[in-house]
Amino acid sequence: MTVTVYSKPNCPQCDATAKRMENLGIAFEKIDVTQSQESFDKLVALGHRRMPVVMVGEKSWSGFRPDLISNLA
């Protein structure tokens, strides 16, 4: 299972998502959308309008969702 967290600097929800995943031992790749226009465009095309965006395979969600994060553990 590949988990990717798309985030941006100074984003409390992004930081909370990453910290929760780290605390639960969930391996993930973190991508800063301010450094990757391609990633930003991909998320907008998928309909996401807020950060972070968590992608697990083909599924995704946005915002800090501790319930969904816990389901990954």
Structure tokens at 14: 């992004």
pLDDT score for 58: 87
Domain boundaries, the chain: 3-72
**CA–CA separation, 43 and 50 (whole Å):** 9
Confirm if 11 and 52 have CB atoms less than 8 A apart: yes
3-72 has CATH 3.40.30.10 classification: yes
pLDDT tens for 27-65 read 999 999 999 999 999 999 999 999 999 999 889 999 999
**CA–CA separation, 47 and 34 (whole Å):** 17
**What residue spans of the chain are helical by DSSP H?**
12-24, 37-45, 66-72
Entry pTM: 0.91
